[in-house]
Structure 1
Amino acid sequence: MLYTTKEELFNNIKGIIDIQKDGTVSIINKDALRTKTIDKIVYNAVFNSDSNLKDISRWLIWSASNALGNASSSIQSLYDAMGRREYKGFTVPAINIRGLTYDVARAVFCAAKKNNAAAIIFEIARSEIGYTGQRPAEYTAVVLAAAIREGHEYPVFIQGDHFQIILRKYQADKEAELATVKNLIKEAIDGGFYNIDVDTSTLVDLSKPDLAGQQRLNFELAAELTAYIRSLEPKGITISVGGEIGEVGKKNSTIEELRAFMDGYNATLKTKGSGLKGISKISVQTGTSHGGVVLPDGTIANVKLDFDTLKTLSNTAKDEYGMSGAVQHGASTLPADAFSKFPEADTAEVHLATEFQNMIYDNSAFPADFKKEIYELLKDKCRSEWKEGQTEEQFIYTTRKMGFGPFKQKFWDLPENIRAKIGQDLEDKFDFLFKKLNIVNSKEIIKNTIQPVPVKVALPTP
Structure 2
Amino acid sequence: MVNTVATAADGLDMLSRPSVRALLDEVRDSVRADDGAFALVSADALRAGGVDRLIRAAVFGEDEDVRDTARWLLLHAGRAVGIAPASIHELYLARGRGEVSGFTVPAMNVRAAAYDTGRALFAAARDLEVGALICEIARSEIGYTDQRPAEYVSVMIAAAIKEGWTGPLFIQGDHFQVNAKKYKADPEPELRAVKDIIREGLHAGFYNIDIDTSTLVDLGQEGLDAQQALNSRLSAELTAYVRHYEPAGVTVSIGGEIGEVGTENSTPEELRAYMDGYNRALQALSQKEGRPVAGLSKISVQSGTTHGGTVLPDGSIADVAIDFDTLRNLSEIARREYGMSGAVQHGASTLPQSAFGKFPEVETAEIHLATNFQNIAYDHLPAELRDRMYDHCRQNFPDERKAGDTEEQFIYKARKKALGAFKRELWDLPEGDRERIRGVLNETFTFLFRQLRVENTMEIAQKYVPLPDIPHASPADMRMKAAADDWDLSD
If the length of structure 1 is used for normalisation, what is the TM-score? 0.97
Q: Which residue of 1 aligns with 2:179?
A: 166
CA distance in 2, matches of 1:228, 1:49: 35
Give the match for residue 183 of structure 1: 196
Q: Of the candidates 293, 301, 307, which is equivalent to residue 290 of structure 1?
A: 307
> Is 1:299 paired with 2:316?
yes
Identify which of 437, 450, 462 aligns with 1:435. 450
Residues 153-209 of structure 1: CA distance to partner in whole angstroms, max 9, x if unpaired? 211110000000000010111011000000010000011100000000000011111
Aligned to 2:94: 81
Per-residue deviation at 1:101?
0.4
CA distance in 2, matches of 1:235, 1:15: 33
Give the superposition deviation at 1:4: 7.2
In 1: Cα distance, 2:303 partner to 2:363 partner: 14
Structure 1 stretch displaced more, 157-166 or 449-458: 449-458
1:396 aligns with 2:411: yes
The separation in 2 between residues aligned to 1:205 and 1:429, in whole angstroms, is 39
Find the partner of 2:333 among 310, 316, 320. 316
Corresponding letter in the other structure for 1:335: P
In the other structure, the counterpart of 1:450 is 465
Letter in 1 for 2:26: N
The amino acid that maps onto 1:5 is: S
Q: Which residue does the alignment assign to 1:329?
A: 346
Q: Distance in 1 between matches of 2:217 and 2:156?
A: 34
CA contact under 8 A between 2:346 and 2:368: conserved in structure 1?
yes
| Residues in 1 aligned to 2:247 and 2:200: alpha-carbon distance in whole angstroms | 13
Mapping 1:142-221, distance limit 5 Å:
142-221=155-234
Equivalent runs, 1:19-58 vs 2, <5 Å:
19-21=33-35, 23-58=36-71
| Equivalent residue, structure 2, for 1:5 | 19
Do the aligned partners of 1:16 and 1:27 also contact (CA within 8 Å) in 2?
Answer: yes
1:315 and 1:325 in contact (8 A); partners too: yes
User: Aligned ranges for residues 349-364 of structure 1 at < 5 Å?
Assistant: 349-363=366-380
- Tell me the distance in 2 between the aligned counterparts of 1:15 and 1:304: 54
Deviation at 1:29, TM superposition (A): 0.7
Q: Contact conserved, 1:287 with 1:303, CA < 8 A, in 2?
A: yes
Unaligned runs of 5+ in 1: none
Report matched runs for 1:228-267 at 5 Å: 228-267=241-280
Equivalent position SS for 2:475: coil
Q: Unaligned stretches of 5+ in structure 2? A: 1-16, 480-491
Deviation of 1:458 (Å):
2.5
Whether the aligned pair in 2 keeps the contact of 1:96 and 1:124 (CA below 8 Å) is yes
Rounded to whole Å, the distance in 2 between the matches of 1:106 and 1:74 is: 21
Alignment check: 8 A CA contact 2:400 2:413 kept: no
The residue type equivalent to 1:101 in the other structure is A
Rounded to whole Å, the distance in 2 between the matches of 1:437 and 1:103 is: 22
Distance 1:182 1:406 in 2: 26
Aligned-partner residue type, residue 124 of structure 1: I
Give the letter aligned to residue 334 of structure 1: L
Superposition misfits of 4+ residues, deviation over 6 angstroms: none
How far off its partner does 1:460 sit? Answer: 2.5
Deviations 1:259-288 (A, max 9, x none): 000000011001112311000000000000
C-alpha contact (below 8 Å) 2:115/2:155 kept by paired residues: yes
Q: Secondary structure at the match of 2:285?
A: coil
CA distance in 1, matches of 2:20, 2:142: 28
Paired position in structure 2 for 1:18: 32
Q: 1:114 aligns with which of 106, 118, 127?
A: 127
The farther-off stretch of 447-456 and 399-408 is: 447-456
Q: Distance in 2 between matches of 1:206 and 1:7?
A: 59
Which whole-Å CA distance do the structure 2 matches of 1:362 and 1:391 have between them? 19
Partner in structure 2 of residue 339 of structure 1:
356
Distance 1:24 1:203 in 2: 48
**Offset at residue 459 of structure 1 (A):** 1.7
Q: Give the Cα–Cα distance (whole angstroms) in 2 for the partners of residues 262 and 246 of structure 1.
A: 12
| Structure 1: distance between partners of 2:129 and 2:110 | 21
Among 365, 373, 385, which residue is 2:400 paired with?
Answer: 385
Paired residue total: 457
Q: CA deviation at 1:19?
A: 2.8
Give me the CA root mean square deviation. 1.2
Shift of 1:20: 4.9
CA distance in 2: counterparts of 1:212 and 1:325, whole angstroms: 21
Which one scores higher on RCO, CA 8 angstroms, separation ≥ 6? 2
Question: Residue by residue, what CA displacement relative to the aligned partner does 1:133-155 show, whole Å, maximum 9, x if unpaired?
Answer: 10000000000011111111211
Report Cα offsets for 1:72-127 as digits up to 9, x if no partner: 00011100100001100000000001111010011011101121111110000001
* Matched position secondary structure for 2:226: helix
SS at match of 2:170: strand
* Cα separation, 2, equivalents of 1:329 and 1:246: 11
Does the 8 A contact of 2:24 with 2:33 survive in 1?
A: no
Deviates more, 1:279-288 or 1:45-54: 45-54
Aligned-pair CA distance for 1:289: 0.1
Q: Secondary structure at the match of 1:11?
A: helix
Rounded Cα–Cα distance in structure 2 between residues aligned with 1:57 and 1:407:
22
Which deviations, in whole Å up to 9, do the C-alpha atoms of 1:392-443 show, x marking residues without a partner?
0000000000110110101100111100000010000000000000001001
